[in-house]
Amino acid sequence: MTAETKITPEIVAEHGLTRDEYKRIRQIMGREPNLVELGIFSAMWSEHCSYKSSKKWLKTLPTTAPWVICGPGENAGVVDIGDGQAIIFKMESHNHPSYIEPYQGAATGVGGILRDVFTMGARPIAMMNALRFGDPSHPKMKHLISGVVSGIGGYGNCVGVPTVGGETDFHPAYNGNILVNAMCVGLADADKIFYSAAAGIGNPVVYVGSKTGRDGIHGASMASAEFGEDAEQKRPTVQVGDPFTEKLLIEACLELMKSDAIVAIQDMGAAGLTSSSFEMADKGDAGIELWLDKVPTREVGMTPYELMLSESQERMLMVLKPGREDEARRVFEKWELDFAVIGKVTDTGRMVLKFHDAVAGDLPIKPLANGSPEYDRPWTPTPQRRPIVLPRGRDDLDTVLPTLEKLMGSPDLASRRWIWEQYDHMVMGDTVGRPGGDAAVVRIHGTQKAVAITTDVTPRYCYADPYQGGRQAIAETWRNLTATGAKPLAITDCLNFGNPEKPEIMGQLVGCIQGMAEACRALNFPVVSGNVSLYNETQGTGILPTPAIGGVGLIADVSRRADIAFKGQDHAIIVIGETRGHLGQSLYLREVLGREDGETPPVDLSVERRNGDFVRTLISEGLISTVHDVSDGGLMVALAEMALASGIGAKIDPPAFQAPLAWAFGEDQGRYVIAAPAAAADAVIAQAWVTGVPAAQIGVTGGTELTLTGAGTISLETLRSAHEGWLPGLMSTPA
């Protein structure tokens, strides 16, 4: 096909556009578009770029707080952390590419999210990832796990930014559509934030970074459609990354940012030069003229269509102040990167594309950017689940410890050491502790401050009850940060769902966002950035609704922080919050009884706020330094994780009035397990009583076993073997 190709209904359909959308395009253009223009509409109006199915609902999320410097709409969100410093962070998806080509898909996901952050003037200081794989026994799964983990490690390790944590879960719903969500956190001066709005008529538009190739063409539209049987044939749509070039690009951009030469800057992510140029022009209420024959290329004979839609990696677009081109060129050439003036800012409100002096495209800016379609898709609420009924006898006490061993070696609870040992989590020298706790802690270099970072969501909750699942995802992220002693500041989200054209799927998206919005408001925990990934389906089978949440909090004094490890012998073990034994949608129910039913555990946001604020106060006052929130697997799993993290056992006294299995493995929300020296325990419980927070001592630390009164013991060695053995065992067996 060439620019002169006649646009047929088949070509329109190949570009992922509906008949109505094409009719609208013709109205906007006042004529038939050429192929280049059609390709640009296809990319900009793709679900991946336009959020056309979710815009209506995203607008309902709270986005402001006194510490928010920049909320959604830029490359990443920005929050103030005092002392003239800001944290810049975002999470994005690279799901479809990672299924097609797991190594490059995951690697370029890391590269893309890094660029979103340093584009705004921040030095990246930490990475996280939230991964979802299918049934571990599925024939493709080991290949996908290995490729994704290698891609994340291969890119992050080479670029020199620590990968400090994340999450990895398994469920058959992801067999045909895995999820790879990457999060990056950066540090910047609060008064030196860079934005993307093009300005200054006549100012030069500059291309920097790597050359443009033919990789990644149609990447945005590919990521906006469900998979069919031809998924394997979509490899050419996956970008190829070069982390060493990305490192050079980071350093070059940050060096130029020390000057005042940059007016605007934008990463070339999804839809490459198309999205970056249109977004810059739109935000600046300007126009742009691009000279496509000036774009540096690594392949001969590239067409305007290919140049505009390539998603080649490690590229940026800038608007410079007039006369500063030579200064900028010297910086980028010093770092051995391409530099080219490829256009200028205009006052036309249009994107004019020239190729060897001929006009290859002429499009209005606004209808392709903020004026993209916005759909109010039909949606149906998810039906309410019935409560489960289980036997509640005291004779189940003997089964608690064998059940605990089984759970600790189950796919969703087993150690992720095999994964995180492939990542450099200590590079830069400011990571405090190793992965495996509630949240990672990264010191702000040269200070006593630190940021806590976490990712979380429980998809089985969201599937059973999107509204409660959305609330829970926010609340658990907030708890994870709180458990370190950090004040939760803000979140980024990555909303992964199936086909929004199905009312039941759209209902999942709406329900999750409604729950998220309510929790964010109640916890003063705004959304400052994010991403939506829809059409995560293969041959009509969708994923579990997975609104992954990335949270950031501030620890004022890193010497006053907590982690999950017991700190000594004879410390009192205290549960904060109320244990009712909710087993609906629990891992116990799924892994032990083979059931996925019941109600999602309810989330009381006022209780979350009260209990969390209390725990944070205890940490800041130096009364406790051992805290773990209770989540997947319930109380006994939390205790086992704390014991394994320290090598110190515990003696636990279960209550006489509760069914043992429900008490041990129920997933009631708003709870923490803390440990305090015996001398401080009474004061902690007294303080809780005064504050109205439920608190009860359930045991003491000591030895190298977990002892459950009335039920015997299990050695930490046995638990560790189950916990550490599953994932290496899976990955070492032949495919």
List the catalytic residue out of 94, 425, 571, 628: 94
Distance CA 95, CA 561 (A): 35
Report helix, strand or coil for 587. helix
Sign of CA dihedral 354, 359, 364, 370: negative
Asked if 267 and 122 count as a contact pair (C-beta separation under 8 A), the reply is no
- Which tokens go with 548? 């992954």
Q: Are 321 and 381 in contact (CB under 8 A)?
A: no
- The C-alpha atoms of residue 258 and residue 331 are separated, in whole angstroms, by 11
Strands in 315-320's sheet, in edge-to-edge order, are 262-267, 315-320, 204-209, 338-346, 287-291, 350-355, 358-364
CA angle 472, 691, 689 (to 5 degrees): 105
Contacts of residue 726, defined as CB under 8 A and 6 or more positions apart, other chains included, come to 409, 410, 411, 414, 415
Burial of 24 per CB tally in 10 Å (0-12, 13-18, 19+): middle
| 487 burial type by CB count under 10 A (0-12 exposed, 13-18 middle, 19+ buried) | middle
Check: CB of residue 230 under 8 Å from CB of residue 325.
no
Strand partners for 714: 706
Angle between helix axes 716-732 and 400-408 (nearest 10 degrees) is 30
Strand, helix or coil at 204? strand
What are the Cα distances from residue 520, in Å, to 390, 411, 453?
34, 30, 17
127 phi, psi to nearest 5 deg: -125, 150
Asked if 185 contacts 117 with a C-beta cutoff of 8 angstroms, the reply is: yes
DSSP strand pairing (77-80 vs 85-93): antiparallel
Choosing from 48, 425, 571, 582, the catalytic residue is 48
Bridge partners of 533, per DSSP, are 496
Active site residue 138: no
- Tokens representing residue 184 in the block: 């990056």
Strand stretches in 404-561, DSSP E: 431-432, 440-443, 450-456, 487-496, 527-533, 537-538, 541-542, 546-555
Q: Say how far apart CA 627 and CA 562 lie, in whole Å.
A: 6
Q: How far is CA 408 from CA 130, 638, 672, 701, in A?
A: 20, 10, 19, 20
User: Cβ(94)–Cβ(105) under 8 Å?
Assistant: yes
**Is position 571 annotated as part of the catalytic site?**
no
- Cite the active site residues: 48, 94
